[in-house]
Amino acid sequence: NLILDRDFASAKQHLQDHPEEAHVLVEIKVQSRYVVRHMALHEALMIDIPERSLNSAERSEDTIMPQDQVDLILSLIELNPRVCIQKELRKRNPLHLALATPASVPVEIVNAILRAYPPGVRGPD
């Protein structure tokens, strides 16, 4: 497994340089706030968003994804249109979670999710 910690530019470049490795697990952590896993192309890209990020009273600049992470997630979405956002690893409708967390999830990610899962279409279980 390929495991990368906080180095999103390297992760993105590695996947671009070695597309044959897109099936391996890529795990990225940002100060334990977000975990992004990209597994086999037929599986889901999962973004775990801790409960604290969802509390509007606790939202601050540090709950917003850095641009390099946004870019990496978007590149993974391009590789794998099956996108699933999960909160605390519980299965949820990605559309609902995206719409419920505008301050935590960048608009580019929300838009990518909406393209992958139009209203009424549930994400992969």
What is the band of 17 on the pLDDT scale with cuts at 50, 70, 90? Answer: confident
Residues 6+ apart with CB under 8 A from 55: none
7 domain residue, yes or no: yes
44 CA to centre of own chain: 10
Q: Which domain holds residue 45?
A: 2-116
Give me the number of domains the chain comprises: 1
Neighbouring-strand partners of residue 45: 38, 83
What is the band of 19 on the pLDDT scale with cuts at 50, 70, 90? Answer: low
pLDDT at residue 23 is higher than 60: no
Percent of the chain with pLDDT over 70: 1
Average pLDDT over residues 56-72: 52
Compute the Cα dihedral for 56, 57, 60, 62 and give only its sign: negative
123 domain residue, yes or no: no
25 domain residue, yes or no: yes
10 domain residue, yes or no: yes
14 domain residue, yes or no: yes
97 domain residue, yes or no: yes
124 domain residue, yes or no: no
Alpha-carbon distances of 80 from 21, 75, 83, rounded to whole Å: 13, 9, 7
What was the pLDDT predicted at 66? 55
Between 86 and 73, residue with greater pLDDT? 73
17 domain residue, yes or no: yes
- Calculate the dihedral angle through the C-alpha atoms of 47, 52, 57, 61, rounding to the nearest 10 degrees: -60
